[in-house]
Amino acid sequence: MRDYEDLTAFLGEWGPFQLLIFILLSLSSVPNGYVGMATVFVADIPPHHCKIPHLNSSYGSLNLNLSIPLEEVKGKIILSKCHRYKELNVSNGGFGNETESCLDGWDFSKERYISTIVTEWNLVCDDAWKAPFTVTVFFFGVLIGSFISGVISDRYGRKVTFFTTMAVRTIFSLVQAASNSWEMFCVLYFIVGMADISNYCCAFILGCEILSKSSRITFAIIGVCMSYATGYMFLPLFAYYIRNWRILLTALAIQGFLYIPMWWYIPESPRWLLSQGRVEEAEAIIRAAAKMNGVIPPEVIFKQSDCDQLLEKNDQARKVHYSWTDLLKTTNIRYITILNMIIWIVISMTYYGLSLNTPNMDGDPYLNCLIAAASEVVGYSLTWFFVRYTPRRFTLSFSLLLSGALLLLIRFIPEELNVLILTLIMTGKSGVSGAFAFVYLYATELFPTVVRNMGLGATSMASRIGSLCSPYIAYIGTYNKILPYILMGGITIITGILSLLLPETKDEELPELISQVKPLKL
């Protein structure tokens, strides 16, 4: 069978059809930018202290310092968040030196938020672990979704899976906004996480299979990643005007209904249809594309004999069973697999650690979040430039080393230089964001064809280990705002140095067999 690219070359590289697919699939990635990151505001912890009974009625204007001990957090003296002095005499309003936990609950500041899930279910003190764990639950859903999305789309089709996961994400996000307990919120967030990553992967696969080979890098970086960053930028704008977590989640979720008309404009992947033997459906899609592009298609686009050869080839390929153990079969592919997994874990941990740490930074959290999202646009733009003109090893190592060095440098900047610190953080985030977008392309070129999907699946799943850890790195920032940057910066620099061991792949033939995998550059 002739190559699919040759059979459909009459459509041209770019036309109204390709442009429409590029725009619609890119726009579908906008919600991915705010669904997971919404917890930056939804699960933020407002200033709080123990609720003192009868304070207003019996104590009048009694100073809280008499009833609540002071503690030092981030170099500032504040009222204790989790303890209060024991009352000696309720009628006289006396307090002793002994302390007790907040038996009557907490008073939360309303200065920034009307409500968050923290104020809703008192996720502080002994239950403080629940706030970062909420994000971990989401990323665990992403982990499972990464594993099953490819299997589902391969079996039922890209389009059906794409719109089904979009519907699941939208509906369950709306139900999540009505959660009546933290446990219910977490279960729903797990499902949303599975649907979110599955939808993202389906959009990526659809675009790569429908668009021409020359436009895939532009689609992956400028299309999908830029749209993700756009959605991320929408988040602080919505959160600034909507300070109630339930209304915020609802406002973000209902945007999913705007994508319903896409069903009539986004076709199934012709490549997938051909792999299933559905020649007539695939040909109908290509003919509709030719009509939209104003070109005349050949009388017969896909011959049944060619399709039969493809199906026979697929059957033969299935008889050759490759398993996850093949990713460790030879010395070369073993080193490639292990090193890629380390790189993906660290990139994911640093990226999400910086994103989730936004509320712990000095300054306005809404503005900080907006700048963080905008920094990704810079990172993706530079990555797109580097991918076109520089070696792969340079692109990855430069991004990681730059990011890590800038984050470590924060340790030596005086606290009063807030603008400089913010600049270093956001520039570092640009670097790691660009690296995040780039490693998909690099890994595709490093793994051989026979285990490429498994290689990408293994490294993608490994990256979720980093994302699962990231909420707790951000949580450290609530007590020590410098330590997270030291941790992320140090590990990122080490990983940037390790990435120099990877072989160069730019402008070279992709390896087909495991034996063709290149050795590390020791």
The span from the CA of 326 to the CA of 331, in Å, is 11
Same domain for 393 and 282: no
Chosen domain end from 287, 305, 320 = 320
Same domain for 289 and 148: yes
Same domain for 497 and 487: yes
Chosen domain end from 320, 354, 388 = 320
Same domain for 24 and 53: no
Q: What is the pLDDT of residue 308?
A: 63
- Percentage of the chain with pLDDT > 70? 89
Q: What is the pLDDT of residue 261?
A: 92
Q: What is the pLDDT of residue 215?
A: 80
Q: What is the pLDDT of residue 61?
A: 40
Same domain for 310 and 164: yes
Domain hosting 19: range is 1-42+114-320
The residues, any chain, with a CB within 8 Å of residue 176's CB and separated by 6 or more, are: 185, 188, 189, 192, 249, 253
The span from the CA of 335 to the CA of 347, in Å, is 18
- Type of residue found at 51: K
Same domain for 226 and 78: no
Same domain for 312 and 434: no
Chosen domain end from 294, 320, 346 = 320
Q: Count of domains in the chain?
A: 3
Same domain for 84 and 184: no
Please choose, from the candidates 45, 56, 180, 182, the residue with its C-alpha nearest in 3D space to the C-alpha of residue 115: 45
Same domain for 398 and 329: yes
Same domain for 348 and 420: yes
| Contact indicator for 269, 210 with CB cutoff of 8 Å | yes
Same domain for 103 and 31: no
Same domain for 258 and 133: yes
- Type of residue found at 232: Y
Q: What pLDDT, in 10s, does the model give residues 438-480? A: 888 888 788 886 677 677 778 888 888 888 888 888 878 777 7
Q: What pLDDT, in 10s, does the model give residues 285-329? A: 888 888 898 888 777 777 766 666 655 655 555 555 666 777 787
Q: What is the pLDDT of residue 316?
A: 56
Instruction: Kindly report the pTM of this predicted structure.
Output: 0.84
Q: Tokens representing 108? A: 């939360």
Provide the CATH number for the domain around residue 429.
Answer: 1.20.1250.20
Mean pLDDT on 212-224? 81
